Structure 1
Amino acid sequence: MKSIKTILLTISLSWSVCANVLAQESTSSELFITLKQKDSLLFNVGFNTCAIKQFEILIAEDFEFYHDQSGIIPSKEIFINGTKKGLCSSMNSSKSRRELVSGSLSVYPLYNKGILYGAIQKGEHQFFETQEGQSEQKRSLAKFMHLWLKTDNNWQIKRVLSYDHRMPVD
């Protein structure tokens, strides 16, 4: 009886691992490319250049952000206002830049009765900082997970998990 339970557990775990690998979108799929473009708009344009309009477009009204170093940001409004007053403030003497770690991005579609309604996007990103009059420095390497939801033909980010921040190793 014990060996049957062991066999069933092994089969179950194997199926789970296989299903996870098969569920990941190909890097050439339309969904992967779309969400990689949204990631670029969010960070390469929004974050790196302080184009607040990108955040207003891409972030859902009921947005939540969970960060392992700075806690919870419970709304779109608080996130955008904090970005304006902090990272993107004219009084800020440093500039931050985010770079996606090449090859780290993966996308997992979410379906409801066969209809695509969202996706989970995860990966790693590197952050850099430039203090006024100094050269750019590596600041941290972290993992992220984004929940994107599709409404009509529009994608918006609803939840963000940013975790495992650590100093980069050269």
Structure 2
Amino acid sequence: MRTLFILLLVSINFAFGQVSKDSELFLALQKHDSIFFERGFNRCDIDYLVKMTHKDLVFYHDRGGIQDKNKFLENTKKNLCSDSNKKPIRKVRKESLEVFPLYNNGVLYGVVQTGIHDFFIREPNKEDIYTGTAKFTHVYLLENKEWILKEVLSFDHK
């Protein structure tokens, strides 16, 4: 009986825990994170951000407060995209990424993605200058076969 209980606990953890870093889901979200932040944050493709963020986006920032989608886009334009001579850049620590699937009656509808990212300032013809780090938690919803950013926790900025 005890062995059955332990097997049940292990299977529940496996079914609802972090996916393997070589799984199709993890690799898809790792790629999505890379594209999302390269285009939206590093290249300031605002049209892409508009498309890939949920209409009811909620962004919790430990220094900038709570932002809805409009405030998030406004702050991105103002704080990240206004000076190409001193451009903030985000790079994820690949080894820190974790992906946790969200299911409804066995159907995948979203994921929670966590990790650590480092920030830099990029100036023309210079190497990127490290400026800090933070932790993040993202909730992505799977809508029409695309991962749409719904909720963000950005915290522990140093």
Bin for the TM-score computed over the shorter chain = 0.7 to 0.9
Please show how residues 87-102 of structure 1 align to structure 2 within 5 Å: 87-90=80-83, 93-102=85-94
1:79 matches 2:66: no
C-alpha spacing 1:88/1:42, structure 2 compared with 1 (3 Å): same
CA distance in 1, matches of 2:145, 2:118: 30
Match of 2:58 among 49, 52, 64: 64
Match of 1:162 among 135, 154, 158: 154
Match of 2:129 among 113, 127, 137: 137
The aligned residue for residue 40 of structure 2 is: 46
Whichever of the two has the greater Rg, that structure is 1
CA distance in 1, matches of 2:154, 2:88: 16
Query: What amino acid is the match of 1:41?
Result: I
CA distance in 2, matches of 1:82, 1:41: 20
Partner SS state of residue 53, structure 1: helix
Runs of 5+ unmatched residues, structure 2 = none
* Backbone CA RMSD of aligned residues: 2.5
Deviation at 1:25, TM superposition (A): 0.7
The aligned residue for residue 7 of structure 1 is: none
Please show how residues 28-47 of structure 1 align to structure 2 within 5 Å: 28-47=22-41
8 Å contact from structure 1 (residues 41, 54) kept in 2? no
Deviation at 1:37, TM superposition (A): 1.7
Residue deviations 1:90-140 (CA, integer Å, cap 9, x gap): 5x6521111111311010000111111111000000000135786532111
Partner SS state of residue 32, structure 2: helix
CA distance in 2, matches of 1:66, 1:128: 21
Deviation at 1:85, TM superposition (A): 2.6
8 Å contact from structure 2 (residues 16, 101) kept in 1? no
CA distance in 1, matches of 2:127, 2:27: 33
1:111 matches 2:113: no
The aligned residue for residue 121 of structure 1 is: 113
CA distance in 2, matches of 1:20, 1:162: 27
Q: How many percent identity over aligned positions?
A: 40
CA distance in 1, matches of 2:54, 2:16: 28
TM-score, normalising length: structure 1:
0.78
Count of aligned residue pairs for this structure pair? 151
Partner SS state of residue 60, structure 1: strand
TM-score, normalising length: structure 2:
0.84
Query: What amino acid is the match of 1:86?
Result: N
